[in-house]
Structure 1
Amino acid sequence: MRVIDKVAWLWLRDGQILSTRSRGKDTYYLPGGKREPGESDVQTLVREIAEELSVDIVAASAVHAGTYQAQAHGHPDGVLVRMTCYTADHAGTPTASSEIEEVRWLGYADRDLVSPVDRIIFADLHRSGRLR
């Protein structure tokens, strides 16, 4: 079974979570992306968030918030995505850049708009009272 290894940033505010939608897509994803060879989780997080949102993650503040796995959205059966999630402080205001078309705050009621692995994360955050 093939596994896509991704790292994501969880930024929760007022019971909502920051999500992104890529150009030409209709599904939202947590900001982040695939690890490059030799990168640590935090290095991936810093690079991907800078590329996608023009935000500087404070690497020393990154805290592992969970690792989740589900069928990869848009891939054939047998392809999983493993999402390693971090909370972290940042500098800057998130703005869509690179391949990102839209940045949006989503709540638990918006879970049908996100990828399968993000739905699992939304459910976990909702159970813990962090996502409304």
Structure 2
Amino acid sequence: MIDKIAWIHLDEGKILSTRSRGKGTYYIPGGKREPGETDLDTLTREIDEELTVTILPATATHLGTFHAQAHGHPDGVTVQMTCYTADHHGTPTPASEIEEITWLTYADRHRVSPVDQIIFDHLHQVGQLR
């Protein structure tokens, strides 16, 4: 199982998503936990690396934990995505391996990874993603 932490950043019914260099699929920003890191350690490090913004850990709220087949991995390899909302300082800007950031709606569900599709479904059902 791949253990990932993600930042759910919503604005006017759209979700911030990223695309890595050379990839065609969009992903909710975040990444893999490093040894010894807490969820919030991973969240703040990954979002700073990918988007050059500072997550405010005291504002982080667990949105949910989702499981799916890991995109681009052999059958049976799963991903666990633990999602948080949080306030931040700065303007999201592509950095590191991120080539593009964009705002997606539920109509873009087919453009994201399997675990992100489950998250899109959840957010749409609760009225947060249009």
TM-score, normalising length from structure 2? 1.00
SS across alignment from 2:2: strand
Alignment partner of 1:112: what SS?
Answer: helix
SS at match of 1:60: helix
CA distance in 2, matches of 1:129, 1:78: 31
Displacement of 1:48 in angstroms is 0.1
Residue aligned with 1:51, SS: helix
Residue 99 of structure 1 is matched in structure 2 by 97
Give the superposition deviation at 1:44. 0.2
How many residue pairs end up in the alignment?
A: 130
The answer to whether the aligner puts 1:22 opposite 2:20 as a matched pair is yes
- Structure 2 unmatched ranges of 5 or more: none
**One of 27, 34, 58 as aligned partner of 1:60:** 58
- 1:76 to 2:74 alignment: yes
**Distance (whole Å) between structure 1 residues aligned to residue 84 and residue 6 of structure 2:** 6
Structure 1 stretches lacking a partner, 5+ long: none
Identity of aligned residues (%): 70
**Counterparts of 2:63 and 2:107, CA distance in 1:** 21
* Aligned-partner Cα distance in 1 for 2:70–2:13: 26
Taking the aligned partners of 2:60 and 2:42, their CA distance within structure 1 comes to 12
TM-score normalised to the size of structure 1?
0.98
- SS at structure 2 position matched to 1:110: helix
Aligned Cα root-mean-square deviation (Å): 0.3
Structure 2 residue identity aligned to 1:121 = I
- What is the CA distance between 1:105 and its match in structure 2? 0.2
Q: Deviations over 1:79-130 (max 9, x none)?
A: 0000000000000000000000000000000000000000000000000000
Letter in 2 for 1:15: G
What's the offset of the Cα at 1:25?
A: 0.0
